[in-house]
């Protein structure tokens, strides 16, 4: 996910802070999706995969060096990196679906309008969307005014995503939901057109309810000890961009959160899996508390019908994420999180060892897959098309060796380089093992 240029220093919330990030997204080559989704039902998988593999889920810089955030905290830096990722996704969608999507001025207005709508700045979104199809667009003065309004709204959304003292570890879960919301709203609008403000109101209401449920879910699993802890959690809830009714309702529920199973049962299957994947990562990031939290999350996952093998794969992907990005997640995780991740990932070795001969034989028979695995093992970055080929090959291979199904889900390819290092046998074809 390389970019052509980096945004200049970002002064979060100051006049004009958003414009360099918009310009960067529009200038970057098309790259953000493994495959651009063409319908809403495809959006979740195509967003979550790059969100995990780039590290943007935890605000890790992707595509080069981070955009410097002047006077920033770790959570503000993470917020800006997630925003850069979302803008890149919007630009990819704009190029794919919007008329004249490669014209930079028009693409800039499309991306800004969709960002404004997802953030709830509906007046600005409406003005930009009305000008989107016009070559002349807005005057420079009007455009700066509109972008300033969007920047102010987006900066206010830079809430406490991390785990301040006594608070909840909300960053990864809310980041995943925010990226999902941005892309689903954009895709719905680009596919169906219609009035952007009306669509945004509907999507914002759904997103607010989902975030309220997610915060209550984390509170139910993790808890918040003491009066000071509850105070910080309430502050996090207030700053999470919820609509007033959802914020009030959540404030009452946080005093006694509902059990995780009660919260998850009504949630549709794909979204339930997304929430559980994030809970698995949340538990791991809590370090010393991870064992107890993982037991609680595991019990919930199995109770709602997640198969045991699938759940083990989910935990392994979370572990791979922590290990793949190492110290870069440390500012939003407990110091012992990498130790917990190593222990979790090592637990997969037994299952793979049992299937060692079958795995090795089948990979030998799938020549191109073996070549790509060898390149990954050597630390080479594959193209989006090559990553799709690896994933497809492993899905086919999983029909013979079921334990390889772990690689089929979002973030699953993170496991490959790590497993090649820790397994007691080599996944690569023999021709590449001693190259």
pLDDT, tens digit (0-9, with 9 covering 90-100), for 58-112: 888 776 566 666 656 777 788 888 898 899 889 988 888 865 655 788 888 899 9
> What are the φ/ψ torsions at residue 170 (nearest 5 degrees)?
-100, -10
User: What is the number of residues in the chain?
Assistant: 435
Output the pLDDT for position 52: 83
pLDDT tens per residue across span 252-296: 898 889 999 999 999 998 899 899 989 988 888 876 666 788 888
Q: What number is the average pLDDT over the span 125-147? A: 77
Distance CA 56, CA 176 (A): 9
Outline where 104-225 has alpha helix (H). 104-119, 122-131, 140-156, 171-192, 196-222
Output the pLDDT for position 429: 43
Instruction: Please answer whether residues 316 and 200 qualify as being in contact, where contact means their C-beta atoms are separated by less than 8 angstroms.
Output: no
DSSP secondary-structure letter at 78?
H
Reduced to 3 states, what is the DSSP secondary structure of residue 364? helix
Angle (CA) 24 26 30, round 5°? 105
Outline where 254-331 has alpha helix (H). 260-264, 269-285, 290-303, 308-325
Distance CA 241, CA 346 (A): 39
- What tokens does 132 get? 């989107």
Listed residue (105, 100, 142) closest to 123, CA to CA: 142
What pTM, to 2 d.p., does this model score?
0.82
Instruction: Please answer whether residues 89 and 31 qualify as being in contact, where contact means their C-beta atoms are separated by less than 8 angstroms.
Output: no
Give the residue, 328 or 246, on which the prediction is more confident: 246
Give the residue, 417 or 118, on which the prediction is more confident: 118
């Amino acid at each position: 996910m390389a970019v052509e240029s980096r945004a200049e220093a970002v002064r979060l919330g100051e006049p004009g802070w958003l414009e360099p990030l918009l310009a960067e997204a529009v200038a970057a080559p098309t790259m953000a999706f493994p495959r651009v989704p063409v319908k809403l039902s495809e959006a979740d998988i195509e967003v979550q995969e790059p969100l995990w593999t780039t590290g943007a889920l935890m605000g890790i810089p992707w595509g080069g060096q981070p955009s410097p955030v002047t006077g920033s905290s770790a959570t503000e830096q993470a917020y800006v990196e997630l925003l850069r990722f979302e803008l890149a996704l919007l630009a990819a969608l704009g190029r794919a679906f919007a008329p004249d999507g490669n014209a930079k001025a028009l693409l800039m207005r499309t991306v800004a309008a969709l960002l404004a709508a997802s953030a709830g700045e509906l007046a600005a979104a409406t003005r930009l969307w009305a000008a989107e199809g016009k070559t002349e667009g807005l005057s420079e003065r009007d455009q700066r005014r509109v972008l300033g309004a969007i920047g102010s709204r987006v900066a206010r959304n830079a809430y406490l995503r991390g785990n301040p003292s006594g608070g909840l570890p909300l960053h990864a879960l809310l980041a995943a939901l925010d990226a999902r919301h941005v892309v689903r709203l954009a895709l719905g609008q680009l596919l169906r057109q219609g009035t952007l403000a009306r669509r945004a109101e509907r999507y914002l209401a759904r997103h607010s309810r989902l975030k309220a449920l997610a915060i209550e879910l984390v509170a139910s699993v993790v808890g918040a000890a003491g009066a000071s802890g509850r105070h910080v959690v309430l502050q996090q809830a207030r700053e999470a961009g919820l609509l007033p009714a959802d914020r009030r309702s959540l404030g009452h529920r946080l005093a006694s959160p509902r059990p995780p199973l009660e919260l998850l049962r009504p949630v549709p299957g794909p979204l339930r899996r997304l929430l559980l994947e994030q809970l698995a990562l949340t538990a791991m990031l809590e370090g010393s508390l991870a064992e107890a939290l993982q037991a609680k999350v595991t019990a919930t996952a199995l109770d709602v019908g997640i198969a045991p093998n699938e759940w083990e794969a989910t935990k392994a992907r979370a572990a791979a994420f922590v290990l793949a990005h190492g110290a870069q997640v440390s500012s939003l995780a407990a110091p012992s999180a990498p130790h917990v991740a190593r222990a979790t990932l090592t637990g997969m070795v037994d299952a793979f060892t049992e299937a060692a001969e079958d795995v090795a034989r089948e990979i030998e028979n799938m020549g191109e897959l073996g070549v790509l695995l060898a390149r990954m093992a050597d630390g080479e970055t594959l193209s989006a098309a090559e990553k799709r080929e690896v994933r497809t090959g492993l899905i086919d291979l999983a029909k013979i060796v079921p334990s390889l199904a772990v690689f089929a889900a979002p973030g699953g390819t993170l496991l490959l380089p790590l497993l090649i290092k820790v397994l007691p046998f080599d996944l690569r074809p023999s021709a590449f093992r001693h190259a």
